[in-house]
Amino acid sequence: MTKDRTIKIIDASYLGDYKVELRFDDDVIRQIDFGTFLNTHSHPQYNKYKKINNFKKFKIDRNNLVWGRNWDLIFDTWDLYLGKNPA
């Protein structure tokens, strides 16, 4: 698969801790762990998502996995598709 095609996230499920399972429009499923990112990137905008109740409030918006009304956290869809854990 090359980046020439637009990959779409069609479902996202909370798995536990800081892990999310993503399903893409070609039926590829990835489990992504956001824990390392949250624990190594200290920023007021991100820190609130260290609380599991806040972390679990992600959504799919315009083909992006996002947190917060103003997209406080957003990660590259292609990287998530490739299974890269944010670091």
Around Cβ 39, how many Cβ atoms within 10 Å? Answer: 11
CA distances for 59 relative to 1, 5, 14, 40, 69, angstroms: 25, 22, 11, 23, 10
DSSP conformational letter for 67: E
Query: 39 near 87, Cβ under 8 Å?
Result: no
Give the per-residue pLDDT at 72.
Answer: 92
Given a cut of 70, the residues of the chain with pLDDT beneath it are 1-4
Give the per-residue pLDDT at 2.
Answer: 58
Q: Which domains does the chain have, with CATH numbers?
A: 9-81 (3.30.2020.10)
Give the per-residue pLDDT at 6.
Answer: 87
Q: Please identify which residue in the block is written with the tokens 């947190």.
A: 67
Q: 39-57: per-residue pLDDT in tens?
A: 998 888 889 999 999 999 9
Sheet of 19-24, strand order: 9-16, 19-24, 29-33
